[in-house]
Amino acid sequence: FEDVGNFYFNGIDCLDSTTCVAVGESDADSPDPGSRVWSTTDGGQTWVENFKMSDPQESLFTAKFVSKDEIWAVGGNVSNRQFLGRVWSSTDWAEKGEDSSWADVGGIDNAWLTDIGMAGEDGDAFAVALTIQSTASVFKYTAA
């Protein structure tokens, strides 16, 4: 898969040798700004754009499989030097492809989420971030 001039990839996670999810973004002055989630279930022969945020201030850095059915993606929004870390999830990405639904799991003020580690199907996760004060932080999400 290759796309020239529209966006670039920031992260990828694979469940097995055929199933992967990748996230990327494009600059505000690109022909098609925004962040995207792409997936493949056939070893990379075809890729589907599952999710797109057209706001050029949105960024996605990585995505992780929680299970074979659930994906989380993290990144953030930078507007006027204000950071808002963002977490998105989908449980129907494989079934619905381009029509999959993505839920906003939550945001963290003053943090730019750069990676996430899933702690299995219990729903707990850890995210690393850079804060607006240029400090490194680790956040824990505990499922309700």
65-74: pLDDT as tens digits: 988 888 989 9
Strands of the sheet containing 48-53, edge to edge, are 8-14, 20-26, 34-40, 48-53
11: which 2 tokens? 């992260």
Beta-carbon count within 10 A of 18 CB: 12
Q: 35: helix, coil or strand? A: strand
| pLDDT tens digit sequence for 97-119 | 777 788 888 778 888 888 888 77
pLDDT band at 63 (very low <50, low <70, confident <90, very high): very high
Q: What is the per-residue pLDDT across 8-43, written as a single tens digit (0 to 9) for each?
A: 889 999 999 999 999 998 887 888 888 999 999 999
Count CA atoms within 13 Å of residue 83 on its CB side.
Answer: 16
Half-sphere exposure at residue 142, Cβ-oriented, CA atoms within 13 angstroms: 1
Is 86 in contact with 107 (CB distance < 8 Å)?
Answer: yes
- Predicted confidence band at 136 (pLDDT cuts at 50, 70, 90)? confident
Which residues lie closer than 8 Å to 45 by C-beta, 6 or more apart?
Answer: none
